[in-house]
Amino acid sequence: MDSLIFLLLLLQLPAVAILFSRLAAGPTRKPPITPQVLLGDRLGTVGVVVPTLNEVHRLSPCLTGLTQQAHEVRSIVVVDSRSEDGTQALVQSFAQRDPRVRLIEDDPLPPDWVGRPWALQNGYQYFAVPTETSEQSQSPTRPSLPPVEWLLGIDADTQPQPGLVAGLLAEAEREGYDLVSLSPRFILKYPGELLLQPALLMTLLYRFGPTGSPSQSAERVMANGQCLLVRRSVLQEMNGYSCARRSFCDDVTLAREVARRGYRVAFWDGSRLLKVRMYDGAAETWREWGRSLDLKDASSWGQTWSDVWLLWMLQGLPLPVLLGSLLISGLGTPLGGVFVGLNALLLLIRVALGWAIAPSYDCHQAQGAWLFWLSPLADPLAALRITLSALHRPTQWRGRVYNMNNDA
């Protein structure tokens, strides 16, 4: 038994050292971005792109929030992939109330693209190339507008708060960043997701450190495509979103490629600017969010599996060890006591991190909101989910089936 414990300690101690080094950035991380109001020369600076596919039941809060943004937003372009549920009619109803809202359909999906980056690519091309349907095409009596300086990708399940675009734009320009994305405030409702979703979110904190802390290398950059602001000139140099065309984590793939090219990239706390209701219940959270959280499309094989090791050592192992200490007498040796004590410390850190991420959750509508505090019980499941996801590349997403056997 001591030999097994010694081996596990050899595997676990380096992971603990990595965790402490990442958490050390917590006290100096950038605080949450706050809403702002921009005036003057930033009017019409931002073009917003919202990719949609059968989003009629989630899109209304998103468009409501976007139409509440001030006039630094020039256009809100919804790129729809031929929805069949009334999404297009909903967008048209918003367009009648706010002329900035525009609906376009993306071109048929090429075989070497995934749906979301393809929709974003169509949105980029809308703003990049003047056409008869673009807001850049003017009547002979009106002067031509300059191209937008920034593109903001927003997912249909988000709920932008007033002042989102102004606050994000002001901070990005003040600090000289070229791509910035925000972590949202998550809306939870059902008991299963109150247990599972925070545990899955914690996998990102263990791997990348606190939101708002600087990345040490392009390979460790984190991003969130639910709200991602990027300079149009940067996308122009990169041929839009083509670098992420086959990625199921296209946001991270894009951000890491931007960072590799020498541009400044940041991932900030946007809990005061953006809410999101991602999935209904634990089953959908496990299936849909869990399939991309390994980030293997944006990572090397070594990065992916070193992250799996890290998660098992820090998140998957402590609870089973502590439960096992009550049943296995071999853990009562001096070496076993060190092992149990280390895992008790890791569990206490996990509980403290739960308090730290609590402001990133809106549980006002939740059934049994107190279950959030029991989410450490789901930590072994979160580590298992990332492991399973790392073993298999998705072939289906949002009702589309992809042939991912050949790399392109």
CA 210 to chain centre: 14
In a domain, 363, yes or no: yes
Confidence (pLDDT) at 41: 74
**What is the Cα–Cα distance from 345 to 340, expressed in whole angstroms?**
9
Whether residues 112 and 223 share a domain: the answer is yes
Whether residues 14 and 64 share a domain: the answer is no
Which residue, of 279, 311, 331, is where some domain finishes?
279
**What is the Cα–Cα distance from 118 to 128, expressed in whole angstroms?**
15
Which residue, of 279, 309, 325, is where some domain finishes?
279
Confidence (pLDDT) at 132: 42
In a domain, 407, yes or no: no
Whether residues 233 and 327 share a domain: the answer is no
Whether residues 239 and 97 share a domain: the answer is yes
In a domain, 194, yes or no: no
Whether residues 40 and 6 share a domain: the answer is no
Whether residues 100 and 218 share a domain: the answer is yes
Confidence (pLDDT) at 339: 92
The candidate with the shortest Cα–Cα distance to 282, out of 351, 204, 209, 188, is: 188
Whether residues 50 and 103 share a domain: the answer is yes
Which residue, of 246, 279, 312, is where some domain finishes?
279
In a domain, 197, yes or no: no
* CATH number, domain containing residue 66: 3.90.550.10
3-state secondary structure of 167: helix
In a domain, 405, yes or no: no
Whether residues 15 and 66 share a domain: the answer is no
Distances (CA, A) of 117 to 114, 151, 241: 6, 14, 6
Confidence (pLDDT) at 407: 47
Whether residues 15 and 38 share a domain: the answer is no
In a domain, 134, yes or no: yes
C-alpha neighbours within 13 Å on the C-beta side of residue 333? 11
Whether residues 265 and 390 share a domain: the answer is no
Whether residues 6 and 149 share a domain: the answer is no
Phi, psi of 254 (to 5 degrees): -65, -50
- pLDDT tens over the chain, length 408 residues: 788 889 999 999 999 999 999 999 888 899 999 999 876 677 889 999 999 999 999 999 999 999 999 999 999 999 999 998 899 999 999 999 999 999 999 989 998 899 999 999 999 999 986 544 444 444 343 345 678 999 999 999 999 999 999 999 999 999 999 999 999 999 999 999 999 999 999 999 999 999 998 877 899 999 999 999 999 999 999 999 999 999 999 999 999 999 999 999 999 999 999 999 999 999 999 998 988 899 999 999 999 999 999 999 999 999 999 998 887 765 668 888 899 999 999 999 999 999 999 999 999 999 999 999 999 999 999 999 999 999 988 776 666 777 665 444
Domain that holds residue 352: 2-27+300-397
Instruction: Say what the pTM is.
Output: 0.91
Whether residues 23 and 36 share a domain: the answer is no
Per the structure, the count of domains in the chain is 2
Q: What is the dihedral of CA 195, 201, 204, 209, to 10 degrees?
A: -100
Helix residue spans in 110-190 (DSSP H): 115-128, 164-175
In a domain, 287, yes or no: no
Confidence (pLDDT) at 131: 45
The burial of 336, by beta-carbon neighbours within 10 Å (0-12 exposed, 13-18 middle, 19 or more buried), is given as: buried
In a domain, 293, yes or no: no
Token representation of residue 205: 């904190």
The candidate with the shortest Cα–Cα distance to 276, out of 327, 334, 201, is: 201
